[in-house]
Structures are given as C-alpha cells and as structure tokens.
Chain A
Amino acid sequence: MSTSQISPVEQKGAGVATYLDERVGSNGFLRRNLNKVFPDHWSFMLGEVALYSFIVVLLSGVYLTLFFKPSMVEVIYDGPYIPLKGVKMSEAYDSALNISFEVRGGLLMRQIHHWAALFFMTAIAVHMFRVFFTGAFRKPREMNWVVGVSLAMVALMAGFSGYSLPDDLLSGTGLRIAEGIVLSIPIIGTWASFLLFGGEFPGTDFISRLYGIHILLIPGILLALITVHLMMVWVQKHTQFPGPARTNNNVVGYPLMPIYMAKAGGFFFLVFGIIVIIAGLVQLNPIWIFGPYTPDQVSAGTQPDWYIGWLDGALRVMPNWEIQAFGYTLSLNILIPALVIPGIITTLLIAYPFIEAWASGDKREHHLLDRPRDAPTRTALGVMAITFYVLLWIGGGNDIIAVGFDLSINSVIWALRISLIVLPPIAFVITKRICLALQRRDREKLLHGRETGQIMRMPNGEFLEIHAPLNEEERAKIIAKPQVKPLPQPPETDSSGVRNPKLKKDKRRAKISQFLFGDTIAAPTGEEIAHADEHLAHEVIEDAPVMAEEEALQIAHDGSVLESPGTSGKS
C-alpha cells in the first residue's frame, strides 16, 4: 500500500501539524477522532439543520449589529419609504427601516436572520420529536436530553427577544403582552416589570436592555449549551437504528474522514444556501407596513412567529379567573396559561427520561433506537402532547379561524376548550392502537414471511399467497424489538416475613411501570423464529417446482394467476 504523492501544500500542512503537535499534542487527538464512525439516517440530519441555521443566525446577526441602533430616542423619519415620511418613531425602528430600504443587502440580511431563526426553531422542535419517539434519551443520554430541552427554551427566548427589537407595532404589542404577564406574577410582579422596563411601560430603556440580552447573553448561553450538547454526542457516539450487523455495542456507518466531512460540511452549505435563497425571494416581517410602536394602536389579525403562537393561544382559551382575597389579586387567567402551563410542560419534558428509567428499573446503556411502534405508550404520550400543543397553536389564530369559517369567536373558543381536554386522550388511545397493530403485523411477518402479492392456486382449487422470507434489513429491524417488562408487583413481606415498609411506593411504581410498558405484543421466541424459518425455507423449496412452471401459468390482466390445463395434475 503505497502512499500517494505529497504535494508542497500538504508538506506545509504537515509542518503546521507538527508545530501544533509539539506544543499541544494535537496529533493524538486527530488520530483518535478523525476516523470516528457515524451511522446514517435522514432523521439524524435534523440536529444538523438546527446547528447550521444557528451559525447562519450568528453570522447574519453580527452584520445587523453594524447598522441597528438599539435606542428608543425619538426621531422623525426622513428616509425613502414615503408612507412613513415625517412620522415620529424610535431610533431603533428608524434604523431597522434604514437596514431594509437604504443599506444594500440589509433587507436580505434581516430576512436571512429571521428565516434562519425560523429554521432553527423548527429544526429544534422536529429534532426533539425524533429523539423522543426513538427513545434516544435513554441511558447514557438523559443529560443530553436535559441540555436539549434547555436549548429549546433559550432558543424560544432568543426568537422572542429578536423580533421585539425593531420596535414596530407588532413587536411592541408582543412586549406589551409580555409586560402584562410579568405584572400578573404574585408579590413581585409590579417590581419585576418596573425593573425590567426601567419604570412604567414602555419607558425608554427596554430596547437597549433587550439588545444586550439578544445579542450577547442569549447567544452566549446557546453557544455554551450547544458546545456541551455536541461534545456529549461525540463522546457517547451516535445512536443507530436496528439493522443488519448493528448491535447495542457497535456503530455501523461511514467514517468521519472523508465521507462525513464532505456530507455534513456540504450539508451546511446546502442549508445556508436554501435559507439565503428563500430570504431573497420570500418576504417576512415587513416591519414598515406595521408602522412604529405606540401603546394606543394595534393591528388586528397579525400573528407572532409560530413558536410563540401556542402561548398566545393558551392566553386566549383560558377562562377569565381572577382571585381577589386579603387585599391582593391573583390573576389566574394570565398565570395559568403564561407561566404554569409552560412550567409544567418544561418540567415534564425534562423529567420524562428519568420517569421511564425509574419505572422500568432498567440500568443498561441503550445505543440501538426504538422504532416508535415498539414503545407504544411512549409514542402515544408524545402524540398526545403534540395534539395539545397544536390545539393551543390553533387557538393562537382563533380570530382568523372565526373569520375564515364565519363562526363566532365564542364558539371557536368553546370548541377549543373542549378539544383541549378531549382530543389529547383520544389521540393517545388511537396512537397506541396503531402501534400495537403494527407490532402484530411485524410478528406475523417474522413468523410467516413477507406477502409477495403472488397468488397461487392449489390443485384442490384453493388460492394461496406465496410468502417469502423477509430480507435481512427488515428482519433485523423486527428482531431488535426491545423486551421491556413492567416491574412485577412488589411482595407484601420479605422472605423472613417482615412487612415491606415501602409497599405503597413500590406498588405505585409497579403501576406506572405497567402503564408505560405493560401493553405490547409478545415478540416471537427464538424457538418460534427458528421453527418459522425452517417452515418458510420449506415452503420456498416446495414452491420451487411450481415457480419453474410459471410459463405454464397464465397471468390474467388483473394480475391474478390462472391455471393452465397442463399443470393441473401436479401434486
């Protein structure tokens, strides 16, 4: 195995590598990491999309800082956009208009920044679903799940703080709502609001304060979290879907150098390029149409970015409960949708891997992903949560729905309130059934082979469909189904007859375990599979002569097989 020619450039490169190695020992690091193996699956690219759009957000954001002026000082607009000429506005809005109309490439960068933010949020959400539904959060990756949930929350704040900056009517309205929510916090609400805004709303401090948060604090936190997130992926190695040659103890895929270098690196440019093209062609957030913010104007029918919509929807569907006692006011109508429900959702998200681990008593490492059908309760819980979320999100557009379908807002809200309670459990039941049905079908396939769609008529006139053995890929996937057993009922007393002091707790645990892992279609045992394989092989051999005489069988126009007289005597 000879090495190829070394070019002068490579020689220089080797020189640099040596220089570095002599100072930081980098060659050992390269040796360990350059030929890491990564498994391939389209859904593993979702996290990459998130990462790459974050980089795009950083790059375009730095450009915007060169022109944007985070100031609420009042100025009179004197730019090229005629409808706003002579209008009083904040310097922030004025500079955002300048970026949009005067700076060549400014509007493009604004749109790149905003589109990339949307890509970022969307990719994070879908990536999270992928991780959830495949059980990728199980040991040893629970901590990375927690980092991921934190990332999602901080990203949401990044987006909200970003589109609040330009100080147009839409962004100011969003801030007003946020201020109303802060005011509702018990005991400290008014103080918190006054400290944030430097006094009463809107004041003149907030945009510059938010600016620091948006361009320094939040990106800093995101960067730190993303670094930790990726380092953990690196150290723990990526999970993989079950398949031929894949086990819980290996990674099957392509080496980083050169395949992943080219594919993942190339993918960055693909994502970046697509965002830029969309930003060039599709307008979003046309701030000049909304006009400058003023607290006594509002534009009806405008919508926040999609990732905020669900909070708005929660505020809309909430009944108007307010408690008045002991000289104080508790605004449940705001607290519950804006703080309590998001708090519960976040807590449940963070806790889920730990709940599952506790309820299964499973301490093993898991590197093979579950197919969603193989964890029916988890999948059903996930679909239930998504249903709840989507309903809230629809709630955020209830006025649009009411106008669109000519309904009263009242009836739309009531329909949503009822749906929020009724539909998620229905989604749970349906999803679980579908999962179990799919498991049953898998079992059938494993035991009786794949249906070939070829019909054969037996000498006695019976029609049979020919079953063929599964291919390696499919078989490996089905066989990999995890055998999670719910915890057994705890014994009332231990072996020496002493009453179990934790009986109640253990019983509850067994119950939750039963709920999470109890319903499943038993996978065939090794023996059954061996038997089935033998049978299938047999079937194929027996069928072989029939196949050989296929010419003798006439294929009807609809694809069924007619028997030709010559073969009828065959046994």
Chain B
Amino acid sequence: MSDSKDLTPASSGAPATTSDTQQALRPGAWPRAEVEHHLRRTDTDPRAQKRAVRQVSTMFLLSALMVVLFIVAFIAIPRDAVITLPYIGAIGALNAAMGVTFGLAIFLIGAGAVHWAKKLMSDVEVVQERHEMKTDADDTAVAADIYEVGKETSGFAKYPVIRRTMLLAMALVPIPFIVSLRDLWLTPPGVTTPSEELLVTLWKPGMRLVTDITYQPVRADDIPVGGLVNVVPADLPLVEEEEHNLNARAKAAAIVVRMTPDEIQSQQGEGWDYEGILAFSKICTHVGCPISLYQQRTHELLCPCHQSTFNLADSANVVFGPAARRMPQLPITVDDEGYLVAVSDFKEPVGPSFWELKESYS
C-alpha cells in the first residue's frame, strides 16, 4: 500500500477486499471488528476527499486569522466601549471582541481536528482483547514470598516491641503540626474561650444609636410610626478605625422600628421600648444574615437568606422559618437631648446559636 492516496491504515483497511483479509496484520495492530461498516464519501470519491482536506485546512487558517483579530481588538477597542447585541443586550465591546476572537481561534483548531478525524482518518472499528485485572497466581506467589522474606529478615514479626513503639511514634508524630494550628486564633488578653467574645457587643448603657452609614444620632421624634432605621452604636466608627475590621459591626448592627404603643403585644423586657420605638438586633439568629425586609402592616421582619420571619410586635418571636431563636431586643430610651440611647447591651446572644448557649431564649 504505497499509494499515498490510500487513506486506510494497514491495520484496518476500509472495504473488506480479499487482498485485505488475507493481508497479515502489522505487528501490534488490532483485528478489525466484525461489524457493519459503511464507506464514507471521502473513502470513495477523491473529490470529496479533496474538499475535506480543504475544509480542515481552512479551519486551521481561520484560527490563525482570529489570533490576528484578537490583537487588533486588544489594541483598538477602548476599555469602556459598549455594544448592544441581539438577545444578549449591552455588553463591554472589548470583552466581547476578545472573547469571540480568542474563543474562535481555539474552537477552530478543535473543529479542524475533529473534522479531519471524521472525514479522513480510518473509521474502521477494531477489537482489543481484555484481560482480567487479577495478577496470575505465580506472580502473586512471588510477591507474597518477597513480603515473607522482608518480614523475616527485618524481624518485624519477631520483635513486637519494635513494631508497637514504631506504630505509636508514627501515630503521634503529626500532632505537633496540629497543635501548631492553635494560634490560628490569636486569643486577645483576658479572653479564654470564643463564646465569651460572641456574647458581648459594643452596646452599653447610654450609648447613642446612630445611622449605619452616615453615623447621625437618631431622635425619637424623627421616626414616624411604621418607619425603620438601620443603626449601629455611636462608638462603632472609632472602634473600626482602631481595629481595622468589621467584627464589631457584625454583632452590633441593629434596627429601630416604631409602632403605636398599643400595637405592641409583648416585649422581651418590661419597658424596653421608648414610646413604641423598639430596637432589635439585625443579625439573624439562624445563620447570621443581616435582616432587611420589614412589613410594617404585620410588623413582620423577614430574613432574605432563608426566610425566617419574626414578629416584632410580639417579642420578635419566630413566626415561621428555620430560625429557632427570637431576635434579641435592645433596651432603649432617650438622653437629655432626645436622642435614642441603649439602656444596656443585648440580654440575649446575637447571631447564630452555638453549642455553649445555656438557655433557649424564646
């Protein structure tokens, strides 16, 4: 088969001609499978074959062209240019152009290769025999014997004390690494367990409630019935400045709502409201999302993460959803100037429950 136009490798051969079946297989090649085989146009028609060759090389060529276009796009298109495409809408022109040119450059290589394989490479199925995975008995016996020799000559079986002490040592040796992980949390002075930190927040007696973004103190008179204000402790900006983290905010964030005093069915403490103004933690007792959706008609507070719902008019008890504890209430009053202040810290832990919680708080 020296004819270069013959596309079928000797191992398989396309149509089963007599000469083909009589031909010895090349060493290492697999016999042809006894299945139906249909000749393709490219197997029989030299013109179809030529066309396929042209198609494949065109794809490779187009891929190269796409690389050129990519570079042009990279240089020519400004970063903020926007184009509007059908179905997709307005998108960044640079990103789209780079994605399409680079993507096509890659895609066309694949398309060319697959087309080549499908049209021009032999499509004759061959058969390879399988062998059981299991090693034959002789080799297994040799392996077992090598092990035996090792066991005997090392004395692994003979000296149990060596064996056991070695296993002990090996079992213990990772421990220093694990112990070294202890300081992943650099415990601040005066603190011994994590739960201590989780149980306190920045709020303390007399601390003003200020808005969460502009830090303006909140006047009781400024809150209309039905209104909601997001607040943080007045100290928060200072503390954040000092600590450079958001930890204090993650615990102390709160909301203030106002209802008419007769709408309040119950509170977590006697007189914790101020003329119908109630303050609650903003951090969901389920797994800690900040709660933002308040329905003033029903006084229900809904967590956007898993839809736990709390009734703020009724001690913020859980009405529905996966949260188990009510939202902690912050006792408030006003100072001499009429601004809202905390009476104390929260009396119940804010945020998600954890193992060390001693009471059920609801």
Q: Which of A73, A105, A277, A295 contacts B250 (CB 8 A)?
A: A295
Contact call A198/B184, Cβ cutoff below 8 A? yes
Q: Taking the nearest CB of chain A, how far is it from the CB of B16, in angstroms?
A: 14
> Across the two chains, which residue of chain B brings its CB closest to A367?
B130
Q: For A184, list chain B residues within 8 Å (CB).
A: 287, 352-355
Q: Taking the nearest CB of chain B, how far is it from the CB of A405, in angstroms?
A: 15
Q: Which of B97, B186, B194, B305 contacts A173 (CB 8 A)?
A: B305
Interface residue stretch chosen among A118-126, A268-276, A370-378, A420-428: A268-276
B14 within 8 A of A: no
Q: For A365, list chain B residues within 8 Å (CB).
A: 132-133
Given known contacts A249-B129, A272-B106, A273-B110, A199 and B117 CB-to-CB distance under 8 angstroms: no
Q: Which of B103, B113, B185 contacts A198 (CB 8 A)?
A: B185
Q: For A250, list chain B residues within 8 Å (CB).
A: 127-130
Bound-state CA distance A519–B29 (Å) is 43
Contact call B99/A199, Cβ cutoff below 8 A? no
Residues of A30-57 whose CB lies within 8 A of B? 31, 35-37, 40
B147 within 8 A of A: no
Contact call A177/B305, Cβ cutoff below 8 A? yes
Residues of B226-271 whose CB lies within 8 A of A? 230, 232, 244-247, 249-251, 253
Contact call B245/A254, Cβ cutoff below 8 A? no
Bound-state CA distance A472–B74 (Å) is 56
Contact call A236/B133, Cβ cutoff below 8 A? yes
Contact call B354/A329, Cβ cutoff below 8 A? yes
Interface residue stretch chosen among A130-138, A320-328, A537-545: A320-328
> Across the two chains, which residue of chain B brings its CB closest to A88?
B240
Bound-state CA distance A413–B96 (Å) is 41
Contact call A202/B286, Cβ cutoff below 8 A? no
Interface residue stretch chosen among B138-146, B156-164, B168-176, B317-325: B317-325
Contact call B10/A283, Cβ cutoff below 8 A? no
Given known contacts A200-B251, A201-B288, A334-B352, A295 and B246 CB-to-CB distance under 8 angstroms: yes
> Across the two chains, which residue of chain A brings its CB closest to B357?
A329
Q: Taking the nearest CB of chain A, how far is it from the CB of B166, in angstroms?
A: 27
Given known contacts A102-B79, A274-B103, A280 and B98 CB-to-CB distance under 8 angstroms: yes
The interface bits of chain A over 137-153 (1 if a CB of B lies within 8 angstroms of the residue's CB, else 0) are 00010000000000000
B94 within 8 A of A: yes
Contact call A181/B287, Cβ cutoff below 8 A? yes
Q: Taking the nearest CB of chain B, how far is it from the CB of A77, in angstroms?
A: 15
Q: Which of A112, A245, A300, A315 contacts B322 (CB 8 A)?
A: A315
Q: Which of A37, A281, A399 contacts B96 (CB 8 A)?
A: A281
> Across the two chains, which residue of chain B brings its CB closest to A399?
B307
> Across the two chains, which residue of chain A brings its CB closest to B66?
A273
Residues of A229-285 whose CB lies within 8 A of B? 235-237, 243-245, 248-255, 258-259, 262-263, 265-283
Q: Taking the nearest CB of chain B, how far is it from the CB of A138, in angstroms?
A: 13
- Which of B10, B35, B185 has the most chain A CB atoms closer than 10 A to its own CB? B185
Contact call B324/A269, Cβ cutoff below 8 A? no
Given known contacts A262-B113, A269-B106, A108 and B99 CB-to-CB distance under 8 angstroms: yes
Contact call A322/B198, Cβ cutoff below 8 A? no
User: How many residue pairs at the A-B interface have CB separations less than 8 Å?
Assistant: 343
Contact call B287/A334, Cβ cutoff below 8 A? yes
A521 within 8 A of B: no
A107 within 8 A of B: yes
Contact call A296/B357, Cβ cutoff below 8 A? no
Q: For B325, list chain A residues within 8 Å (CB).
A: 322
- Chain B count of residues within 8 A CB distance of the other chain: 110
Q: For A185, list chain B residues within 8 Å (CB).
A: 355
Q: Which of A104, A111, A252, A337 contacts B35 (CB 8 A)?
A: A252
Q: Which of A181, A251, A276, A328 contacts B357 (CB 8 A)?
A: A328
Q: Taking the nearest CB of chain A, how far is it from the CB of B77, in angstroms?
A: 9
> Across the two chains, which residue of chain A brings its CB closest to B70?
A105
Contact call B128/A203, Cβ cutoff below 8 A? no
Given known contacts A107-B95, A108-B99, A277 and B185 CB-to-CB distance under 8 angstroms: no
Q: Taking the nearest CB of chain B, how far is it from the CB of A263, in angstroms?
A: 5
A4 within 8 A of B: yes
Contact call A316/B128, Cβ cutoff below 8 A? no
Interface residue stretch chosen among A186-194, A429-437, A508-516, A550-558: A186-194
B314 within 8 A of A: no
> Which B residues are within 8 Å of any A CB, using their own CB?
1-2, 4, 10-11, 26, 28-30, 33-36, 74, 79-80, 85, 88, 91-92, 94-100, 102-114, 116-118, 121-123, 125-130, 132-133, 181-182, 184-186, 188, 193-195, 197-198, 212, 230, 232, 244-247, 249-251, 253, 282-283, 286-293, 302, 304-309, 318, 320-325, 351-360
- 18 new A-B contacts, CB < 8 A, other than A201-B288, A266-B110, A269-B109, are A1-B26, A104-B94, A108-B102, A179-B288, A194-B197, A203-B245, A204-B245, A244-B36, A252-B35, A272-B107, A273-B103, A280-B97, A281-B88, A281-B99, A295-B288, A298-B292, A320-B324, A367-B130
4 closest Cβ pairs, A-B complex = A280-B99, A273-B107, A180-B287, A269-B110
> Which A residues are within 8 Å of any B CB, using their own CB?
1-2, 4, 31, 35-37, 40, 72-74, 80, 101-102, 104-105, 107-108, 111-112, 140, 173, 176-177, 179-181, 183-191, 193-205, 235-237, 243-245, 248-255, 258-259, 262-263, 265-283, 294-301, 312, 315-322, 324, 327-331, 333-334, 337, 365, 367, 398-399, 409-410, 413, 472-473
